[in-house]
Amino acid sequence: MRKKNFLAALAILAAIVVVACGGAEKAPTETAKAPAAAPASGTASIAGTIAYANGDPDTAISMNADPKCATLHKEPVLTEKIVTGETGGLANVFVYVKAGLPAGKYPVPETTHLLDQKGCQYRPHVSGIRTGQKLIIRNSDPTLHNVHALPKVNQEFNQGQPFENMELERTFDKAEVMVRFKCDVHPWMSSYMGVVDHPFFAVSDAAGSFKIDGLPAGEYTLEAWHEELGTTTQKVSVTEGQAASVAFSFAAGGVPSS
Amino acid sequence: MSPGPSAAPGGTALHRFALGLACGVVLLIAAGALVKSKEAGLAVPDWPLSYGSLNPPRWWQIENVRAEHGHRLIAGAVALATVALAVLASRREPRRWVRRLAWTAVAAVLAQAVLGGITVLFFLPTAVSVGHAALAEIFLCLIVALAVVTSRRWRAAGAVDPGRAPASAGITSVSPVAATVATVLVYLQILIGAVMRHTGAGLAIPDFPLAFGRLVPPRFDFGIAIHYAHRLGALAVAVAVAAVLAAALRRARREPALAGAAGAMALLVVAQVALGAAVVLGGRAVPVNTAHVATGATLLAASFALTLMSWRLARPAREPRAVARAIGGLGEAAG
pLDDT digits (tens, 9 = 90+) for A6-64: 445 445 544 444 444 333 333 333 344 444 567 777 899 999 999 997 766 788 999 99
pLDDT at A243 over 60: yes
Q: How far apart are CA B305 and CA B199, in angstroms?
A: 31
Q: Which residues of B touch A149 (CB under 8 A)?
A: none
> What are the residues whose beta carbons fall under 8 Å from the beta carbon of A218, sequence distance 6 or more?
A100, A101, A102, A237, A238
Is the distance from CB of B71 to CB of B28 less than 8 angstroms? yes
Q: Which residues of A touch B61 (CB under 8 A)?
A: 66-68
pLDDT digits (tens, 9 = 90+) for B54-78: 999 999 999 999 999 999 999 999 9
Q: How far apart are CA B2 and CA A213, in angstroms?
A: 85
A35 touching B (Cβ < 8 Å): no
Q: How far apart are CA A73 and CA B295, in angstroms?
A: 40
Interface predicted TM-score (ipTM) of this complex, two decimals: 0.84
Report the relative pairing of strands A60-61 and A77-78 from DSSP bridges. Answer: antiparallel
* Per-residue pLDDT at A14: 47
**Residue, of B226 and A82, whose pLDDT is higher:** B226
Is the distance from CB of B67 to CB of B46 less than 8 angstroms? no
Residue of chain A minimizing CA distance to B58: A143
Look up residue A153 and give its amino acid.
V
Give the mean model confidence (pLDDT) for residues B145-171. Answer: 71
pLDDT at B333 over 50: yes
**Torsion angle defined by CA atoms of residues B128, B134, B140 and B145, in that order, rounded to the nearest 10 degrees:** -130
Q: Where are the beta strands (DSSP E) in chain A?
A: 44-52, 60-61, 77-78, 94-99, 113-118, 121-123, 126-130, 135-139, 145-150, 157-161, 167-170, 176-182, 190-196, 201-203, 209-215, 218-226, 230-238, 243-250
Is the distance from CB of A194 to CB of A158 less than 8 angstroms? no
pLDDT digits (tens, 9 = 90+) for A177-207: 999 999 999 999 999 999 999 999 999 999 9
pLDDT digits (tens, 9 = 90+) for B302-327: 999 999 999 998 887 666 776 776 76
Burial class (CB in 10 A: 0-12, 13-18, 19+), B12: middle
pLDDT digits (tens, 9 = 90+) for B41-56: 999 999 999 999 999 9
Task: Give the percent of chain B with pLDDT over 90.
Answer: 78
**Residue, of B10 and B236, whose pLDDT is higher:** B236
Contact B110 A24 (CB under 8 A): no
pLDDT at B162 over 50: no
B320 touching A (Cβ < 8 Å): no
Name the DSSP letter for residue B173.
S
Q: How many CB atoms lie within 10 A of CB A106?
A: 17
B199 touching A (Cβ < 8 Å): no
In 3D space, the residue among B24, B297, B316 whose CA is nearest the CA of residue B141 turns out to be B297
Helices (H) and strands (E) in chain B, counts: 10, 0
Of A5, A25, A146, which is closest to B43 when you measure between CB atoms?
Answer: A146
Burial class (CB in 10 A: 0-12, 13-18, 19+), A19: middle
**Residue, of A134 and A3, whose pLDDT is higher:** A134
* Per-residue pLDDT at B7: 45
pLDDT at A248 over 90: yes
pLDDT digits (tens, 9 = 90+) for B79-105: 999 999 999 999 999 999 999 999 999
